Structure 1
Amino acid sequence: MWPLPKPAPGPQPPDGAVVSVRLPFSFRFQHPAQVVVAGFGLVIAAGTLLLTLPVATASGEPAGWMAALFTSTSAVCVTGLAVVDTETHWSAFGEVVIAGLVQVGGLGIMTLATLFTLLVSGRLGLRARIAAQAETKALSMGDVRRVVRKVVLFSLLCESVAAAVLAARFLIGYGEPFGRALYLGAFHAVSAFNNAGFALWPDSLVRFVADPWICLTVAFACIVGGLGFPVVFELARAWRRPRTWSVLTRITLGTSLALLLLGTGVFLATEWSNPGTLGRLDDPGKVLAAFFTAVMPRSAGFNTLDITQLYPSSWLATDLLMFIGGGSAGTAGGIKVTTIGLLAFVVWAEMRGESRVNVGRRRLPDTTQRQAVTITTLGVALVGLATYLLLALTPHGLDVVLFEVISAFGTAGMTTGITASLGTAGHLLLVVLMFIGRIGPLTLGSALALNTRARHYELPEERVIVG
């Protein structure tokens, strides 16, 4: 117990008076990003405790702490990597816990906390508004209440539609009992929309590689969830007036479409004759499988092709897609398509010798450009460091280790099959990567920086040779 400070000399309060004592320490959040980090950490801890309960496993034996921690982190961070088979290791209770953690992680801790505050009190304080804004990426604090309501309602609507389609397909096409079909549809709809990648089959969705009802429903749920809520809301409001779209929407849609088309083309060209992947399918099946494989690295994590059978060139293409990820303020991970899109405009402006970076009829502020460079640099540095450490800790080669690291950082959840064999140290490293990848390198850095300093002077400028 901390000793109480001695009373200062001088007149003392009368007996029975209430004395206010300042403890030798105080803890409070000084930055909204710290609330986001702490919120995700608490939910991961709670999920770990629930998954260690005997009722959470199919065998009735308590799960190991490492398996529980890894699974909880993977679920909350909507990654999908697993050290144990989801269907055979966890009970129905454990699977429901995982789905709940995925839902909480997808919507965001602060989004749910804001909703609960609104339901209980009907009003929102300034500190809670700022914290919610940090998670929902709302463009102004006045939009937070409206955004939170829309986020939750839109998420539930999309998940319900996807669950209904999947459940009907499982019921009619595969003869599953009604209750089982409904459960499978709901679980995979939540996992797909939140870009989590958890599946209730050991081979993910490989058995449905030629089923357009399953593949397209899951793919479009992943795409919608990964676009980002601000983009989706703007499209719903002004989809007939593309000229009025914001820079965020234009960059997100343009870059996402380009990556989908490019990824589909690359996988078709590379894997067309591979007997272990596309080679065994007919032409429509090849296009469907290539499209699905191009969507999933963008943080979704499902797979209809055996990842271990892909050519190394396809692994490299998957690495790049996983690192980029999806849209800002969505359920996808990675450094975000907006970051890559902004950097492309920066490079284009620099090559043309322009002093300002313009997108359409708008000029990008210098702070936005610095944020894009910072996020990309931190991401590359983190992936490089983690790859080196995992190579030193495990006997696996560079290609599979790099794939695993980028999958964890980009919260993609795809694996070449080495996750379970990485050992405790490797699993802890992936846990850290998934956590950082979900909350974002810049958010974590802001949370650790307790104070911001304002510079009241400028230093003389000096040109440096670059390149």
Structure 2
Amino acid sequence: MRSAVAARRPLSDARSWPARFRDGLDAFAGRSPARFAILVFAALVLLFTVLFSLPIASADGTITPLADALFTAVSVICVTGLSTVDMATHWSDLGDVLVFVGVNIGGVGVLTLASILGLVISRRLGLRAKLMAASDTNPSRIHVGPVNEGQAVRLGEVGNLLLTVAISALVIEAIVAVLLFPRMLAVGVPIGESAWHSLYYAAMAFTNTGFNPNPDALTPWANDYLFLGALMLGVVLGAIGFPVIYALVRGWRHPRRWSVHVKITLLAFALLLVAGTLLYILLEYDNPKTFGQHNAADTVFQALFMSVMTRSGGFATINIDDLHGSSLLVSDMLMFIGGGSASTAGGIKVTTLAVLFLAAFAEARGNESMEAFGRRIPRDILRLAVSVVLWGATIVAVSSIIILQITKAPFDYVLFDVISAFATCGLSTGLTASLPPEGVYVMAATMFMGRIGTVTLAAALAASQRRQLFKRPEERPIVG
């Protein structure tokens, strides 16, 4: 009798609630990867806020205030590098481990990490998992409609990309740590501390976070080209993006076969590095507080280091508030642009800027379409680029106005720290550490919206994807 009743019972009732919860979550993730990403990011921030609040996470064994714990959790998961506490002295060994683990989770990307874990556990990658991971590498996939597969990473290659992400993260951080280790020993750091700090700095460099475990920050190595060069190597490799790393690993001998995305990213990235270096040299060579006391070689190197770190690296050998106002503005622009798409860096991304310039160039020449490296770029990519810039500028503007009203601080300092938060860069004029609790929450929200991506945020906030079955009459407004 029992077996007959069980046979007539609906399958959904017979399944356990964990199974139903898993299926519901899987269905939600498949319907809206953007909303799922925001949900997972928020859950991680909440979890790490609780962990950072624990007495065992602080060096003095006390409970960290909610504002500081929340801000640290957001900064860690969003790989920003800003802090309201002294990261080198406030946290215990457990707190430092939480920071190390958190930045690696946030740097790789939540959806990518989830797909990697699924691949390791099940040894296969389903279509839904591929779609979620692909949305981490290409924002175009969050929209309904066809997606051009002639891009950096095709859907069929997502599995290989995930392996590249996992392996490259481990290998790059290990290489940077090996390079840093002897330089720490050279300044008298104990061997055990050198080993841990080497791994810590390597993770902060590759994830473009910029936290310092040393109370003196980079002061002991301010003129150590090998140490600073290793940090720059980690930052650049993290900032160019995993699709670019994948393309370089797969076909570095055949640059002609690289996709347009890879070529645009590398070219724009290099041009911005050179432009930033030249501008810092020009604007700061006579500033006695920054580069004024250096010789020519040191000035060039320090300017290059600063240009690299505005990609989203977050490390600095000088006090940011000592920069001229003109240099602060240059830094604002470089940070706002950020690094490559699907990377550990923040900002609107270098490809976004490149697409806007290509559109302006095509308009100036009277061409109907944008072209780059012998390929035509569709108009929907331009709309996406414009959306990213407008959403980013709106977030920065609103946050700056609120912080200005709260603190009454100088505008250039507020703008710098707000853009650093939005672009998850981590450089600061010192304003962030002195913010009242209400200002801390505003900056935390700015970091969160900057990291999850303006396009992802816009897609998640949209009530639904609707299909329009008609077209309205066309009329051209006057522009310009």
Q: Check whether TM > 0.5.
A: yes
Counterpart amino acid of residue 223 in structure 2: A
The correspondence for 1:165, drawn from 176, 179, 195, is 179
Partner of 1:337: 350
Q: Is the 8 A contact 2:313 2:425 kept in 1?
A: yes
For residues 194-249 of structure 1, what are the alpha-carbon distances to aligned partners after superposition, in whole Å with 9 as ceiling and x for unaligned?
00011123453244221101111001110011001111221233333322221111
Query: What's the CA shift for 1:358?
Result: 0.8
Are the counterparts in 2 of residues 31 and 450 from structure 1 also a CA contact under 8 Å?
A: no
User: SS of the residue aligned with 1:84?
Assistant: coil
Give 1:353's aligned amino acid. G
Residue in 1 that maps onto 2:292: 279
Is 2:168 aligned against 1:154?
A: yes
SS in 2 for 1:378: helix
Which runs of 5 or more structure 1 residues have no equivalent in the other structure?
1-13
Deviations 1:141-191 (A, max 9, x none): 3222211111010110000000011012112x1122221111110000000
- Aligned counterpart, 1:59: 60
- Do the aligned residues in 2 keep the contact of 1:206 with 1:306 (CA within 8 Å)? no
Aligned residue number for residue 475 of structure 2? 462
Q: Which moved more, 1:135-144 or 1:100-109?
A: 135-144
Aligned with residue 396 of structure 1, among 365, 388, 409: 409
For 2:69, the equivalent position in structure 1 comes to: 68
Q: Give the deviation of 1:464 after TM superposition.
A: 1.5
Find the partner of 1:242 among 249, 255, 269. Answer: 255
Distance 1:32 1:338, change over 3 A: same
Q: Do the aligned partners of 1:209 and 1:285 also contact (CA within 8 Å) in 2?
A: no
The structural deviation recorded for 1:436 is 0.9
Question: What is the number of equivalent residue pairs in this alignment?
Answer: 451
1:44 partner SS: helix
**Does residue 1:433 correspond to 2:446, yes or no?**
yes
Q: Report deviation, 1:124.
A: 2.7
What CA distance in whole angstroms lies between the structure 2 residues aligned with 1:424 and 1:384? 20
Q: 1:349 to 1:72 in 2, by over 3 A?
A: same
Q: In 2, Cα distance between the equivalents of 1:249 and 1:119?
A: 28
Code of the residue aligned with 1:145 in structure 2: it is: G
Unaligned 5+ residue runs, structure 2?
14-23, 139-151
In the alignment, what sits opposite 1:36?
A: 37
Contact kept, 8 Å, 1:409 with 1:434, in 2: the verdict is yes
Rounded Cα–Cα distance in structure 1 between residues aligned with 2:253 and 2:153 = 22
For residue 65 of structure 1, what is the amino acid of its counterpart?
L
* Matching residue of 1:411: 424
- Partner AA of 2:365 in structure 1: R
Q: CA deviation at 1:274?
A: 0.9
Query: How far off is 1:316 after superposition?
Result: 0.3
Task: Give the letter for the 1:422 counterpart.
Answer: L
- The answer to whether the 8 Å contact 2:57/2:94 transfers is yes
Whether 2:280 is the aligned partner of 1:267: answer yes
- Mean Cα displacement is larger for which, 456-465 or 353-362? 456-465
Structure 2 match to 1:119: 120
Is the 2:161–2:246 Cα contact (8 Å) retained in structure 1? no
CA distance in 2: counterparts of 1:218 and 1:144, whole angstroms:
29
User: 1:293·1:305 contact (CA, 8 Å) conserved in 2?
Assistant: no
Q: How is 1:64-463 mapped onto 2 (pairs within 5 angstroms)?
A: 64-137=65-138, 139-171=153-185, 173-202=186-215, 204-463=217-476
1:315 aligned partner, one-letter code: L
Q: TM-score, normalised by structure 2?
A: 0.90
Identity %: 40
Taking the aligned partners of 2:128 and 2:373, their CA distance within structure 1 comes to: 35
Is 204-213 or 417-426 further displaced after alignment?
A: 204-213
Range with greater deviation from structure 2 (391-400 or 189-198): 391-400
Please report how far the alpha carbon of residue 15 of structure 1 lies from its aligned counterpart in structure 2 after TM superposition. 12
The Cα RMSD (Å) is 2.0
Q: Distance in 1 between matches of 2:245 and 2:128?
A: 27
Q: Supply the distance in 2 between the matched residues of 1:126 and 1:41 (Cα, whole angstroms).
A: 25
Quick one: distance in 1 between partners of 2:9 and 2:443?
Answer: 51
What is the rounded CA distance, in whole Å, between the counterparts of 2:463 and 2:163 in structure 1? 30
Normalized against structure 1, the TM-score is what?
0.93
Match of 1:6 in 2: none
